[in-house]
């Protein structure tokens, strides 16, 4: 089975709506980063077999948390090492975080459950 | 300018992580519903000019709330009437909501700010 896990920094104490927007950015970025289309008006997004299963299935998304930027980046690095599809979101800080660009969350997958659990298996649900 | 607005039901009292997952579903569904690809392993997603601006810009996502299913569906109906790209998320209820399929949120856009504001301009930030 395939899932996508979104890891959110709890230490930033973001509003619920801010968390939701950042998580949606991350979830989507995994796909948009794969765009190979050369026409600005048509994205072409190649999918691997796990992604196909996920898209044709129930789009399982699990949102978990960490308590620091260090832990967030550790997840991102490990996901890359395991060659999992992953995306890091850095908020520009234009409307929050006192103008400071801030790493807020990471999406990992869609990919095989067991492989993502090697990165996020110990993290708690948000 | 273009934005995407995600309308979430506050009356369901979802966990932060549940809200984030549902919002990400909605945000993504607007795009995946446009898929015209005939190959399961490549999505082809046509973009209108507002979507192109949004994708090439800063992906503005705004999360607001309503207090009832009735208000949520009213947003969805009005967005469709205005021919705005929109997606309604119905949670299967497998893990929450006592097994009852439940409409949780709606994404509207990316589209022109002013046009979306005709639907959600009065709603408060979550």
The CATH number that applies at residue A89 is 3.40.1490.10
What pLDDT digit, counting tens, does each position of A49-63 carry? Answer: 999 999 998 899 999
Distances (CA, A) of A121 to A11, A63, A75, A118: 20, 12, 11, 6
User: DSSP state, B103?
Assistant: E
pLDDT bin (cut points 50, 70, 90) of residue A48 is very high
pLDDT bin (cut points 50, 70, 90) of residue B15 is very high
Can you tell me the distance from the alpha carbon of B118 to that of B43, in angstroms, rounded to the nearest whole number? 31
Chain B CB contacts of A24 under 8 Å are 6, 20, 23-24, 26-28, 61
Q: Give the pLDDT of residue A14.
A: 96
Mean pLDDT of B74-83: 98
Mean pLDDT of B89-107: 94
Residue A106 in contact with residue A89, Cβ under 8 Å? yes
Distances (CA, A) of A43 to A33, A34, A37, B36, B44: 10, 9, 5, 10, 6
Q: Is the pLDDT of residue A1 over 90?
A: no
Residue of chain A minimizing CA distance to B20: A20
CA distance A96 to chain B (A): 13
Characterize A24-57 residue by residue with b for buried, 16 or more Cβ atoms within 10 angstroms of its Cβ, and e for exposed. Answer: bbbbbbbbbebeeeeeeebbbbebeebbbbbbee
ipTM of the complex as predicted: 0.96
Q: In sequence order, what are the residues at sequence separation of 6 or more whose Cβ sits closer than 8 angstroms to the Cβ of residue A17? A: B8, B62, B63, B64, B65, B125, B126
| Boundaries of domain holding B113 | 2-125
Distances (CA, A) of A107 to A104, A120, B17, B26, B34: 11, 11, 13, 16, 23
> Domains in chain B: how many in total?
1
Q: Is the pLDDT of residue B95 over 90?
A: no
CB contact under 8 A, B41 and A52: yes
Strands B2-9 and B102-112: antiparallel
Interface of A with B (CB under 8 A): 6, 8, 15-28, 31-32, 37, 40-49, 52, 55-56, 58-59, 61-65, 92, 125-126
Q: Is the pLDDT of residue B1 over 90?
A: no
Compare CB distances from B47 to A19, A27, A43 and report the shortest one's residue.
A43
């Amino acid at each position: 089975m395939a899932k996508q896990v979104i890891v959110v920094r709890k230490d930033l104490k973001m509003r619920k709506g801010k968390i939701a927007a950042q998580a949606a950015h991350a979830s989507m970025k995994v796909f948009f980063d794969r765009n190979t289309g050369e026409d600005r008006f048509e994205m072409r997004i190649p999918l691997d077999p796990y992604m196909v299963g996920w898209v044709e299935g129930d789009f399982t998304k699990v949102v978990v948390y960490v308590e620091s930027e260090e832990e967030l980046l550790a997840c991102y690095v490990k996901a890359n090492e395991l060659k999992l599809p992953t995306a890091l979101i850095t908020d520009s800080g234009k409307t929050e975080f006192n103008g400071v660009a801030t790493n807020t969350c990471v999406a990992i997958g869609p990919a095989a459950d067991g492989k993502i659990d090697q990165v996020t298996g110990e993290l708690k649900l948000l």
